[in-house]
Amino acid sequence: MLVDIDFVLMAKKRLAEINAKRLDSIEWIKDGKRVHFTKEEIEHWNFTGLSNVDILFNYKPTLTVEVK
């Protein structure tokens, strides 16, 4: 496996930036569409103490509108 260290460092920095934000202030996008987590999902997630990006592996977000 060939690993670009600069890419790994950039990705870790970006993840830290995402995790530093309030979860309910993040606008998530997947396949060019905004996604939405319910208020209940966010409240439950905040209670767990896990990182913001980990929510992507634990809840299936609702696709909403296309981003233009």
Contact (Cβ atoms closer than 8 angstroms) between residue 26 and residue 60: no
User: Per residue in 31-62, pLDDT tens?
Assistant: 888 888 888 888 888 888 889 999 888 877 77
58: which 2 tokens?
């634990």
The domain total for the chain is: 1
So what's the pLDDT on residue 4?
A: 98
Q: What is residue 57's three-state secondary structure? A: helix
Quick one: pLDDT at residue 47? 87
pLDDT category, 9, cuts 50, 70, 90? very high
Residue 5's pLDDT is what?
98
What is the domain extent for residue 61?
A: 5-66
Q: Does pLDDT of 65 surpass 70? A: no
- CA–CA separation, 34 vs 64, rounded Å? 5
Please tell me the number of Cα atoms within 13 Å of 40 on its side-chain side.
0
